[in-house]
Structure 1
Amino acid sequence: MKSERVLRSLPFVVMAAVALIDLLAGPRLGFLPLLTLGPTFASVSGSIRRTALVGVIALALCIPLASYNRLLLTPQNNLTIATIIAITAASMLAGHLRIRRERELANVRLVAEAAQRVLLRPVPRKAGDLRIALSYTSAAAEARIGGDLYEVVTTPYGVRLLIGDVQGKGLEAVETAAWVLGAFREAAYDEADLPGVAERLETSLDRHLGGERFVTAIIAEVADGEISLLNCGHPPPLLIGRDGRARLVEPEEEGVPLGLASLGPPLPKPHRVPFGEGDRILFYTDGVIEARDEAGTFYPLMERAHLLEVADPQGALDELRSDLLDHIGGPLLDDAAMLLVRRQST
């Protein structure tokens, strides 16, 4: 990356500038102590060995410059040399601590990512007369691991889907996602209706979560000619008819996120909407609609609905993901999960 190249070259640029200024200014102003900036900057991004090398170069510049200025072996110059050595040693220690911390964070991130991959198993591409596509885009490297989750299961009651977003980041969010997915995979087969599934999820979260942590989610069930949606504080899905008309399916009743049922109204009733041959519905997390470009403009999902008219659901979703990344012009700052379901003739 460009910023990394700048940081790596900064110590040498600074020391060269100090040497040049000292040559031009002469001994009167005493710029040689500023050579300590070299190893100081080196400790920010370089290795311990690189920091030591920069310190040696600083000394190599200091001695001939002091001789040129007729300051060699003077108390002033001896103090400057001692300062360069001391700051180089301190910078090496700081670099060691930084590298160790970076390794620890990298290991934690790898563990969290591995846990996410285990939890978020691949969804089936076909389920009955449904074709299903998935897109999951991880956040930028600087961001912590998120808690987006999804699942599709075929049950005796029909195909049931879940998409959700856990409050917070990191391993705690991954752990919460594990509880939600585990509870859903059991309840989807056991419960005869969506409110029963939601109650099982709520019970599981109430048992394992503390404080006011929560999960926004949509639980859906596809039946003959319609789809039932139970929205628990999650962004509404985008329904696209076979005629190309798109609309957001807002819930008839406002529902609080899972985990907050004790603080709000009872769980809402499922909202049924027609879902026939050729219709598509897009589920997504807030990482999609909250993605911004350089001007701070949110991603206009409704305006991009036409990208989902491609017959192949995965191709359509890949096109939408590419457009999303083009909109922000860089990496996402939050995970973005999208689940596209298309009904076709059997």
Structure 2
Amino acid sequence: MLFRVRTHLLRSRRGGPLSPESRAGIGAALVLLALVSVVELADGRKANYVGLLAAAPFLAAAFANWRVVLGVGSASTLVGAGFALAGQMISVATVVNLTGIVLATGIAARVAAIRQGQAERIAELSRLASVAQQAVLRPLGPQVGTLAVAGHYISSTAAADIGGDLYEAVDTPYGVRMLIGDVRGKGLDAVRLASIVLGSYRHVAYERADLRAIVADLDRAVARSVGDEDFVTAALVEERGGTLTIVNCGHPAPLLLRRGEVITLEPPATAPPLGFMPVVQPRVERLEPGDRLLLFTDGLGEARRDGEFFPIADRAWRLLGHGTVADGLASLETALVEWVHGRLDDDIALVLMEYAGPRPASGPAVPSWEVGAAEH
């Protein structure tokens, strides 16, 4: 009998094989049906325990859709009726138990329908969040100007793929310019502010010759959009003819990977985040072919297990110095997730770029802040 019930249930859903969740619900219900059947057979001809079969559709409702629940409830009713008819007489208690199975099936099917509707709404919200992420954080690379570039966002929340970390890379008349930032706070307000910063940057990066002017523009955009205690840490990077210029607004310093060494590019002087009127001093480096630069948000530096922080500076070259830049970020994420045992406390934005060598210059190969100074 149980084999026929299982076959009926597995064929009850239209349009293809059952989902793993539905199979789990059917499996749990079949286990209960088998246990009750064993107890009834061992107890004799009286149907004393068929009332327990009312739990089967509720077990299925925890995993499966309402159609599967109705199938499980029908099977439970048939099994209960079979034991009742096999007895010498059908008592009032047996009729009540069978009626209870039917009522339980109806209630469980309704519960399953509500749960399924909620799951579909959550899935739709997840899809909308993915669309929003793609609109806010556009895919980077694999090539921006002459630089190989890859960006990656690691969310600390499994149910959400987007937060307040941000990045962008654009090829402008002043060279390839990259931005990475981290909005204070979480949730929709952080996403909104991140979109404001990125929208402003995507405009002014093409208009301003001086990175310090871009910082001023972004600072005003943040100040207009947040309260007194909100801010955005950010680092802006420009590559022009092999010259690297970095301005830093309270953000973790980028890491330069060169010939097996890792160099932390600390700013000449500290500056507050965007929103607090930062006055930045550029740091200028001359790039060599094969150099790689890692930009990251503080979630990477703060990732830890048992109080020990992830040793990014010690592992950077081994993880990021080989393969493509996208391969490097994939290796970094794998090592990071393994380090924290899959539990991150903060979102992480990563950008990795590689300098292959100079391209024919259309202008002077000097940092943008010198170009801006010359214009004045």
What interval of TM-score do these two structures reach, taking the shorter chain for normalisation?
0.7 to 0.9
Aligned to 2:73: 55
- CA drift at 1:245: 1.5
CA contact (8 A) 1:146 1:168 kept: no
RMSD of aligned residue pairs (Cα, Å): 3.9
The equivalent position to 1:134 in structure 2, one of 150, 164, 168, is: 150
Aligned to 1:227: 245
- The letter of the residue matching 1:161 is M
SS of aligned partner of 2:181: strand
1:44–1:274: structure 2 CA closer, same or farther, 3 Å change rule?
same
1:60–1:343: structure 2 CA closer, same or farther, 3 Å change rule?
same
Aligned to 1:244: 260
Query: Where in structure 2 are the equivalents of 1:1-346 lying within 5 Å?
Result: 6-25=24-43, 30-68=48-86, 72-74=90-92, 76-127=93-144, 131-136=147-152, 139=155, 142-147=158-163, 148-166=165-183, 173-209=190-226, 215-222=232-239, 225-232=243-250, 234-241=251-258, 243-250=259-266, 258=274, 261=276, 266-267=277-278, 269-270=280-281, 272=283, 274-278=285-289, 279-285=291-297, 288=300, 299-305=310-316, 306-310=318-322, 312-324=324-336, 336-346=348-358
- The letter of the residue matching 1:207 is R
SS of aligned partner of 1:149: strand
- CA drift at 1:51: 0.5
Residues 130-163 of structure 1: CA distance to partner in whole angstroms, max 9, x if unpaired? 5232142565994223124211123344432112
Question: 2-side partners of 1:103 and 1:59: how far apart?
Answer: 30
CA contact (8 A) 2:268 2:283 kept: no
SS of aligned partner of 2:280: coil
Unaligned runs of 5+ in 1: none
SS of aligned partner of 1:345: coil
CA contact (8 A) 2:47 2:94 kept: no
- The letter of the residue matching 1:231 is C
Question: 1-side partners of 2:268 and 2:54: how far apart?
Answer: 66
1:45–1:311: structure 2 CA closer, same or farther, 3 Å change rule?
closer
- CA drift at 1:52: 0.4
Question: 2-side partners of 1:283 and 1:328: how far apart?
Answer: 20
- The letter of the residue matching 1:277 is E
1:205–1:322: structure 2 CA closer, same or farther, 3 Å change rule?
same
SS of aligned partner of 2:127: helix
CA contact (8 A) 1:146 1:173 kept: no
Question: 1-side partners of 2:154 and 2:97: how far apart?
Answer: 49
Overall identity of the aligned pairs, in %: 32
Question: 1-side partners of 2:24 and 2:324: how far apart?
Answer: 44
- The letter of the residue matching 2:354 is R
SS of aligned partner of 1:45: coil
The count of aligned residue pairs is 336
Residues 147-198 of structure 1: CA distance to partner in whole angstroms, max 9, x if unpaired? 2421112334443211234456666554433222101112223345444423
Unaligned runs of 5+ in 2: 1-18, 359-376
SS of aligned partner of 1:218: strand
Give the TM-score normalised by the residue count of structure 2: 0.72
1:165–1:69: structure 2 CA closer, same or farther, 3 Å change rule?
farther
- CA drift at 1:274: 3.0
- CA drift at 1:84: 1.6
1:80–1:270: structure 2 CA closer, same or farther, 3 Å change rule?
farther
Comparing 163-172 with 105-114, greater Cα deviation is found at 163-172
Question: 1-side partners of 2:97 and 2:356: how far apart?
Answer: 78
Question: 2-side partners of 1:71 and 1:124: how far apart?
Answer: 77
Question: 1-side partners of 2:122 and 2:44: how far apart?
Answer: 47
- CA drift at 1:49: 0.7
1:89–1:165: structure 2 CA closer, same or farther, 3 Å change rule?
farther
Question: 2-side partners of 1:120 and 1:13: how far apart?
Answer: 48
